[in-house]
Structure 1
Amino acid sequence: MSKVRNPAASGRFYEGSEPGLRSQIEECFTHPQGPGKIPETGKGPRKILGLVSPHAGYPYSGPVAAHGFSAVAKDGAPKTVIILGPNHSGRGVGVAIDDSDAWTTPLGEVELNEDIVSSIAEGSEFAEINSSAHASEHSLEVQIPFLQYFFDSDFQIVPICMRNQSLEASEDLGNVIGEVVTEENALILASTDLTHYETQDTAEERDGEVIKKMKGLDWKELSSLIVSKNYSVCGYGPVSATMLAAKSFRAEETELFKYATSGDTAGPTTRVVGYCSLGIFR
């Protein structure tokens, strides 16, 4: 009997029906803060190694996320997407890899890459097979419908949830991903929101510092900045691990596709959350 992870965020972070979700994704692209249009899917060769993408409800972060997924769509279909996100619930182990056979959303079912799941769990000092951390977590799940919109179910995923976002855990995970993911057609996706519940001006100032470290692939400095200044970036560990892994694949440049806050996308500007879409290229 197959083990399938059912959606936890459907009907809350995004629309719960297939037609409603497709329409909502399209609205993210045509939103004033979105890229403006739905892109054609490219054929490759793929250049994007990593993507930093937000994970709030689609009305808030969806237009920003659409910029990153627009670039991914134009780049062509990845074979495997390793998705790293923070653990908001606190459940499960410090670094948890799900070992379900598949995840479902209203757009269908996506299989896991069992070989990479096993290889990361075997090679990492921190990561363990653990499904309970993923049961109610939204940060990874909300990325999948965007991918399904363009690529149907013609890709596999490796879901990794980080409660432990220490420098040591991030370094371990980034190195292991760089070692075991040998296929050229993989995408590493780090799920994070930026500053939480500050004024628009404060968020923009702090997020500017954070994005500068991301653009420079300064994974150690990124972690140090956020921890030392107690910035409320919820997924800095996944981003650090993604940047380090991308360096293993000869990452050469980055591009900030879009930055905006919830004040820009949905208002108000008194207590906002910051979002960015950023690509890492070979």
Structure 2
Amino acid sequence: MRQTTVAGQFYPSNQKSLKKELSRCFRNVEIRERDITGAVIPHAGYIYSGEVAAHAYAALPKADTYVFFGPNHTGYGSAIALSQESWSTPFGKIEADQEMGKLLAGTIMDYDELAHRYEHSIEVQLPFLQYRFGEGFKILPICMGLQDEETAVEVGQEVARAAKASGKKTVFIASSDFTHYQPAQVADDNDHYLIDSIIKGDIPEFYRRREERNITACGFGPIAAMLTASKEFGAEKIDLLKYANSGDVSGDYSQVVGYAALVVE
């Protein structure tokens, strides 16, 4: 089982405290389910990005399987690593969708747990799912060390193929923060420039804009994979639900991290 790595750091490790913190994140957010196929959701500490994340989770539908594409911050493990273990959180255990995972055998993805062991980008998402839906769903965690456009598109296409073959209702989630450690005005300008290409669903333009301004969105490959998979399911309408930065919490706008919640339907 994949044990928690950042409980007690990014979010409370105590079940009661975690429930209270998530309640705070959703306090000003209307829970209204939409026919969403994909989403971009931040993965910082809940005090900073939890409310932004809640805007996306409040709109997600109940699904059989949630596929998570997360960046590899640690450098451990395979370049594209698929987890098939169950995952533990303070709320309990979540099973991996091994059936869908088996449909990805022989693709660009490796069955590899090491890449996930110390990585926070997917772990921090899971309590939000449990808070919203309780039980009765599975996850398919994919950690991406390689994030170039060709790789990301291939990952998205292969996962969409497996999801279709499984016949299960699937939602694809890209775990990403946006600009890191820039003045708030710079972050806001650059992030909205990049987000505009996401809203247009234009993956080549998304990569071009990121490189043009050297925008430090950590999960750009996961975003491209999620957009590709969502398009394979016919999803086209992309909305920005919420944008904020760490300065909105800390009061320090000189070096912020940007957070955005987007949904694809």
Name the TM-score, length of structure 1 as normaliser: 0.90
> Aligned to 1:83, which of 68, 72, 75?
68
In structure 1, the residue matched to 2:100 is: 116
Q: Helix, strand or coil: the match of 1:255?
A: strand
For residue 120 of structure 1, report the CA deviation from its aligned partner: 2.1
In structure 2, the residue matched to 1:181 is: 163
**What amino acid is aligned across from residue 118 of structure 1 in structure 2?**
K
Contact 2:58 2:132 in 1 (8 A): no
For residue 119 of structure 1, report the CA deviation from its aligned partner: 1.5
C-alpha distance after superposition, 1:172-222 (max 9, x if no partner): 101111211113521000000000000000000100111101111112221
Segment of structure 1 superposing worse, 272-281 or 76-85: 76-85
Q: Which runs of 5+ in 2 are unaligned?
A: none
Equivalent residues in 2 for 1:59-70, closer than 5 Å:
59-70=47-58
In structure 2, the residue matched to 1:154 is: 136
**What amino acid is aligned across from residue 67 of structure 2 in structure 1?**
I
**What amino acid is aligned across from residue 80 of structure 2 in structure 1?**
V
> Aligned to 1:207, which of 181, 188, 191?
191
C-alpha distance after superposition, 1:111-158 (max 9, x if no partner): 010011122243x2x211111100000000111100000211211000
In structure 2, the residue matched to 1:19 is: 16
In structure 2, the residue matched to 1:39 is: 31
In structure 2, the residue matched to 1:9 is: 6
Contact 1:97 1:121 in 2 (8 A): no
Q: Helix, strand or coil: the match of 2:135?
A: coil
Name the TM-score, length of structure 2 as normaliser: 0.96
Q: Helix, strand or coil: the match of 1:188?
A: strand
How many angstroms apart in 2 are the aligned matches of 1:121 and 1:256? 34
For residue 70 of structure 1, report the CA deviation from its aligned partner: 0.9
How many angstroms apart in 1 are the aligned matches of 2:89 and 2:208? 36
How many angstroms apart in 2 are the aligned matches of 1:223 and 1:111? 33
Equivalent residues in 2 for 1:264-275, closer than 5 Å:
264-275=248-259
| Cα RMSD for the two superposed structures | 1.3
In structure 2, the residue matched to 1:137 is: 119
Q: Helix, strand or coil: the match of 2:26?
A: helix
For residue 259 of structure 1, report the CA deviation from its aligned partner: 0.5
How many angstroms apart in 2 are the aligned matches of 1:121 and 1:273? 36
Contact 1:223 1:237 in 2 (8 A): no
How many angstroms apart in 1 are the aligned matches of 2:84 and 2:31? 32
Contact 1:52 1:189 in 2 (8 A): yes
How many angstroms apart in 2 are the aligned matches of 1:175 and 1:220? 15
For residue 225 of structure 1, report the CA deviation from its aligned partner: 2.0
How many angstroms apart in 2 are the aligned matches of 1:136 and 1:65? 21
In structure 1, the residue matched to 2:41 is: 53
Identity %: 37
**What amino acid is aligned across from residue 125 of structure 2 in structure 1?**
Q
For residue 227 of structure 1, report the CA deviation from its aligned partner: 2.8
In structure 2, the residue matched to 1:29 is: 26
C-alpha distance after superposition, 1:61-114 (max 9, x if no partner): 101101001111xxx3111000000000011111111121x1010011110100
C-alpha distance after superposition, 1:39-69 (max 9, x if no partner): 37x5xxx610001000000000101101001
Contact 1:108 1:153 in 2 (8 A): no
How many angstroms apart in 1 are the aligned matches of 2:208 and 2:29? 37
Contact 1:197 1:271 in 2 (8 A): yes
For residue 247 of structure 1, report the CA deviation from its aligned partner: 0.5
CA gap 1:129/1:227 in 2 versus in 1, 3 angstroms: farther
How many angstroms apart in 1 are the aligned matches of 2:259 and 2:192? 11
